A and B are shown apart, each in its own frame.
Chain A
Amino acid sequence: MPELTTVKINGRPVAVASGSTVAVAVMLAGIACRRSVSGEQRSPLCGMGICFECRVEINGRPHCRSCQILARPGMEVSTDE
């Protein structure tokens, strides 16, 4: 079993393999990253920091591209709900 890292997504703990990105944690939580301007649910598209669809808030900092940021223990992530 790989070592696990636990982050909080919208207050709920989600465990991912250590070294995973925050985007992976959000996808495993089964929720979208953000809502579009017309209210659609959006999730990662490009996986490489180009499309900005995976934007979430991390530790109070908004608009973080979750596909480019590794999950760290205790991170507080919030998505548009």
Chain B
Amino acid sequence: MSKELIQQFDVLVIGGGPAGMAAAVSAAECGRRVGLVDDNPSLGGQIWRGETANRMSEAGKWAEKLRASDVELICGARVFHQPEVGTLLAEGLENCYELGFQKLVLATGARERFLPFPGWTLPNVMGAGGLQALVKSGLPIAGKRVVVAGSGPLLLAVAAYLHQHGARILMICEQASWTCLLPFGVALLHHPQKIAQGFSLGKELAGVRFVTNCWPVAAKGEETLEAVIVSRGNKRETTSCDYLACGFHLVPNLELATLLGCQIQDGYVKVDDFQETSVRGVLCAGELTGIGGVELSLVEGQIAGFAAGGRGESARQLLKARAKLHRFARVLDRAFSSRSELKSLALPDTIVCRCEDVKYDRLKPYTSWRAAKLQTRCGMGACQGRVCGPATQFLFNWRPDSVRPPIFPTRFENLAAMTCSPDGKHSEVTGGHG
């Protein structure tokens, strides 16, 4: 049986990446009682995973500010439901949390977009950020042969990180063309900090093959990955490797924002000048409002934190910096948009939904995500469509469906907490697999 912990906050922040950390620190500076919840064992989000201990880094500086503040940290807990306005439920390994709030800041970040191709379900075919996360979590990579593929600036950052840790990066395949990437390069000139990052990446990746107009068409192997075939111009090239790190840019984690009823526009949460969503008292910062990187996330996080903390003037001072970073984000989106050829990577017998093993040819006849879900169970498995949802949006132009609680698979005993009575007491339910 989980132990139930009830806490009340002025400002509750969901997501402990750069945006969430900045929001929590800023709201706490306003003298508010602040809680910060994250699904991962430690703070930093995906981009700063494992970096918060380094005090010289940007990640370390924010972690230090957080430590110096009175922010209550709840790590290793995922929010799964809002039983009533002003209350969220979160599940940890041992506990169930009931978290009350006056203002809420959503900073749930982004995940990689995965596109199905033959062999993508083989062990050791992973996301680019996925492999990096595993290495940061202790997976030895020295001497391993890695092909990095897909799209987005993340590929370069991942390749540099893996190389630094002794991996042999055989090639980096970027699906976008040089022509598409050019405006991104030009936009970088307006952001000296990003150029500096670029130089350090370049130094790390000197001598590594970076190929544009190139994408994986198949992963091969008996039990596990042995080789990857990439398409390059009108040629196919086979490379033996230990890991394929493959992701097609990023998509925001919209599930919680959608559950709360926040308006979504063009695939992102719509916010006003002060990062407030269409739902009063619910603010949003970071990749949820548009894929823009760490700097933008930090600025948005601070604006949201100050606004939620009631210090509008401090928030206002950051609007100009945000506008500049927004322009960069728009260029980023266009530069790495996926080419239509990627829609034909999946063959009729390629699995699209990995949870329910639904193949491409079973999905093709349907005209909507909902119909496909009902008839094929696509998107109905444990990940609740987090992987195949963005994939089918790209493949079939299906629009996402509404979100229903619990937004993560939840232990039976904690589902009981979902039926919250008005006085806040929950019916006792025992059993489940806890």
Contacts and interface: CB of A to CB of B under 8 A. Distances in A.
A64 B129 CA distance: 21
Contacts of B336: none
A47 B127 contact: yes
Contacts of A43: 123-124, 126, 224
B75 to A, nearest CB: 10
B112 A62 contact: no
B220 interface: no
B147 interface: no
Interface in B115-163: 121, 123-127, 129-134, 137-140
B382 A42 contact: no
A17 B135 CA distance: 12
Contacts of B382: 52, 55, 63
Given A50-B387, A52-B383, A37 B138 contact: no
B111 A47 contact: no
Interface in B375-422: 381-383, 386-387, 409
A10 interface: no
B130 A27 contact: no
B411 to A, nearest CB: 8
A68 B130 contact: no
Nearest to B223: A41
Contact of B433 (A19, A38, A62): A62
B211 interface: no
B78 A49 contact: yes
Contacts of A44: 126, 130, 134
B138 A17 contact: yes
B195 to A, nearest CB: 28
User: Which of A20, A44, A55, A67 has the most B CB atoms < 10 Å from its CB?
Assistant: A44
Interface string B69-106: 00000001010000000000000010000000000000
A77 interface: no
B190 to A, nearest CB: 31
Contact of B121 (A17, A36, A62, A69): A36
Interface in A50-81: 50-53, 55, 61-64, 67-70
A63 B111 CA distance: 21
Given A42-B354, A43-B224, A69-B93, 13 more contacts: A19-B138, A28-B139, A28-B140, A43-B126, A46-B133, A47-B130, A47-B132, A48-B46, A49-B40, A51-B354, A62-B433, A63-B382, A68-B40
Interface of B: 39-41, 46, 76, 78, 93, 111-112, 114, 121, 123-127, 129-134, 137-140, 223-224, 253, 351, 354-357, 381-383, 386-387, 409, 433-434
19 contacts: A20-B139, A28-B139, A32-B123, A37-B355, A37-B357, A41-B123, A41-B224, A42-B123, A43-B123, A43-B224, A45-B127, A47-B132, A49-B39, A49-B40, A50-B383, A52-B382, A52-B409, A61-B433, A69-B76
